[in-house]
Amino acid sequence: MSAAVYDEKYWESKAAFVLEELMKRVPENKIRPRLEPTRRAVELLGDPQRSYRVIHITGTNGKTSTTRFIERILREHGLRTGRFTSPHLLKFTERMAIDGEPVSDEVLYGVYVDIEPILVMVDQELAAQSEAPLTFFEALSVLGFAVFADAPVDVLVLEVGMGGAWDSTNVADGDVAVFTPVGLDHMDRLGNTISEITETKSGIIKQGALVVTADQTPDALKVLQRVSSEKAEGIFQLGRDFSVDSHQATSTGQRVQVSGLAGKYGPFEAPVFGIHQSANLAVAIAAVEAFLGGGQIPIADDVLRSAVADLSSPGRLQLVRTEPALLLDGAHNPAGAKTLAVSLKSEFSEKPLVGLVAVLSDKDVAGVFSELAGCFEKLVVTESSSNRSLEIADLEKLAIEHSGTKTEAVVGGRAALERARMIAREIDGMVVVTGSISLVGDVLQILQEESDAE
């Protein structure tokens, strides 16, 4: 065995150790509404989050795609970029990318070893105050900030974990605060109305920042305009200050033209599907214009054209051209399912569709199936690898009740995928994997294993 192979496996095991240590903490879906522990940890580390500029992104759906698009455009400008997203699909290090590539296992482990004494110290201080130790996401955020400072990066494109005001990422001060569409999700933590949820998310708007927002409901927009008037230098709105001028679906994605804050761009060939991705791209372009020139300086055509040609957003309307074709989309709430349904009916209606679905138990499962009603010839429901996945019998019942689609339940992701593929082959159709990002990750893992075996 060569030394290179040994080293790779060695560092993989070290990265796995880091994830194991983080997973011993309060899990990701149990985010605590507090900021002080994270602030204390980064303070003890010398505030690594202040060593680069930040673009901060929140919203309900489209955050990760928009984050990826912003980062790709900035990188084409020659900037050294950091990108922080969650959750991951296949490998934990996807969450922290430097210049578009996941942080190496070796770097991840090295930085974790450096910061672990600080994490322990903060845990001890919290225990002395009868408070719970740092959670998974709090510790992860501290680790991410340290990784990017160590790189070092010029700019961090930072996706919130949940909400905004008390999210661990909010110890960073964004030059630009970006809002994708705000909808009803995580209502047990963020509030019961769009206004309440937007109020929490608007906490990422810092004094003197610029705000860029996607199309919002009147209630959400009212909150963003008020908070922006109190804190921000200005707010730029999709449909008022910038726009998608044209969008045309193609066999490889879409052809799109955008009017930005400072220039008109396109038509560009973007290798991503879904009309909502054209809106995410417009928001990303406006965010970069706001960041680099206060919205006054257009982006060079060749720079933007190269960046757009290289856009990707794994697990978000990702088409895998196997036999039969698979479409992967991590729509996990009713708003996401509604967006998926629009794309399925407008861009993927030439073939009958078979849905492969798993949904987490803390989601509005009935709402997801209601939005997907009429999209599929048949549904196959299963459980994902997440311990929060809704039990298969309950999922089957809700699927039949709210989608009105012929449904069968199959235990095990691999068996369920094979059954969905079999049905799709019989009707010359396509499989759509959705309902949970963890299910999308499971299927990507299976496809990777199949590819390796070949």
Taking the C-alpha atoms of residue 75 and residue 23, their distance in angstroms, rounded to an integer, is 32
One-letter amino acid at 74 equals: L
Instruction: Report pLDDT for 6.
Output: 56
Rounded to whole angstroms, the Cα distance separating 234 from 225 reads 9
pLDDT for the residue 96: 98
Q: What is the pLDDT of residue 1?
A: 44
| Tokens encoding 279 | 């809106």
pLDDT band at 453 (very low <50, low <70, confident <90, very high): confident
**Whether residue 236 has pLDDT greater than 50:** yes
- Sequence-distant (6+) residues with CB within 8 A of 101 are none
pLDDT of 275 higher than 80: yes
pLDDT at 81 over 70: yes
Q: Which two tokens stand for residue 139?
A: 């510790």
Q: Which residue from 321, 365, 412, 302 is spatially nearest to 76, judged by alpha carbons?
A: 302
Question: CA gyration radius for the chain?
Answer: 22
Residue with tokens 């955050």: 63
Indicate whether 83 pLDDT > 50: yes
DSSP state of 374: T
Q: How does residue 187 score in pLDDT terms, banded at 50, 70 and 90? A: low
How many CB atoms lie under 10 A from the CB of residue 218?
A: 8
Among positive and negative, which fits the CA dihedral 71, 76, 77, 78? positive
Going through 1-52 in order, the beta strands assigned E by DSSP cover none
Strands 407-409 and 378-381 come out as parallel
Angle separating helix axes 136-150 and 3-23, nearest 10 degrees: 140
Give 229-252 as a DSSP string. HHH-SEEEEBTTTBEEEEEEEETT
* Mean pLDDT in residue range 310-336: 92
The number of helix segments (H) and strand segments (E) in the chain equals: 15, 17
pLDDT in tens, 342-370: 999 999 988 999 999 999 998 899 999 99
Q: Residue 192: is its pLDDT beyond 80? A: no
